[in-house]
Amino acid sequence: SGSMIKIKVQSHDDSTERTVLLSSSDLTKLTNEHARSLQGVLETCAGAFDANETVIAATSEIELGTVLRNLRSLSIQYEESMNYVESMMERQLIAAIGKRLTQDDLQTYVRYHDARLLSPAPKPFSLAIRRPEHYPTGLVSIETMGGENDCIHSHSRQVNVGSTITVALNSATQVQLSGNQYLHGWMNHRFGAD
């Protein structure tokens, strides 16, 4: 049908919904009218100066300034239109959901679905520190910086069972760490601006 843009309109008289189409020929007419009116402004600017007058700027510079002002005006109108559409869509989305979504909402959603879809499910990164055959002497955890300070949920896998890691504290002192070793993986889901 040659339609470029569809606009749905609710009729005031009845509850039927009809579609208003802006065809490609209408868009061409709109673009041609803009070009015609811009050409008219350029001709007016060129005719405003007599050949005998001392002109500080050449006609081509005046035309360039006019075109640039026109482009600036178009870009401002485009930005305002996009801001309006984005604002309208945001209001509709908030009204449909019932609240503005936050980073915590996204984390809750991802944790719920990770627990259902992944096997094994990610677990809170909160681990007890202990010597063999003793009670825990401490706790290691990685917490979020949000308001609740709850632990991140990570995937975990045991690697290198029974191996020892040697860590040099300085040139004369080394510490050997033994026990089970685990590899942890964490995906931080977040909004683009956070």
pTM: 0.48
φ/ψ bin of 2: left (φ > 0), alpha (ψ from -120 to 50), beta (otherwise): left
Place 54 in a pLDDT band, splitting at 50, 70 and 90.
low
CB distance 66 to 41 below 8 Å? yes
Structure confidence by residue, pLDDT tens digits, 143-190: 877 656 688 888 888 887 777 888 999 999 999 887 778 888 888 877
What pLDDT sits at residue 83? 94
pLDDT above 70 covers a percentage of the chain that reads 78
Return the DSSP state at 140. E
Structure confidence by residue, pLDDT tens digits, 76-119: 999 999 999 999 999 999 999 999 888 778 888 888 898 888 88
Type of residue at 43: E
